[in-house]
Amino acid sequence: MRLLLELSAAIDRLSERAGKLASWCVLIACLISAGNALSRYTLGASSNAWLEIQWYLFGAIVLLGAAHTLRANQHVRVDIVYGALSSRG
């Protein structure tokens, strides 16, 4: 049992670190987005490479942040069956 608790704690630490990395990816994606918009509207120059980087960062945010969000019980619950049931159901 102790081995399983240690494994669980290690997984929690890993998901915490992944969540922190995902939050840094959010910041970087926002800065890239703002810089790309600024260069497009002020200089008339833009690059598809920056847009691609934003999409890769978005993917990293979703994949890295999912475990942390689930562990913190902050995920969005969307359930069709639950919405169709009465309060008693």
pLDDT digit string, tens, across residues 9-44: 999 899 889 989 999 999 999 999 999 999 989 988
pTM: 0.71
What is the domain partition of the chain in residue ranges? 13-84
Are 86 and 37 within 8 A, CB to CB? Answer: no
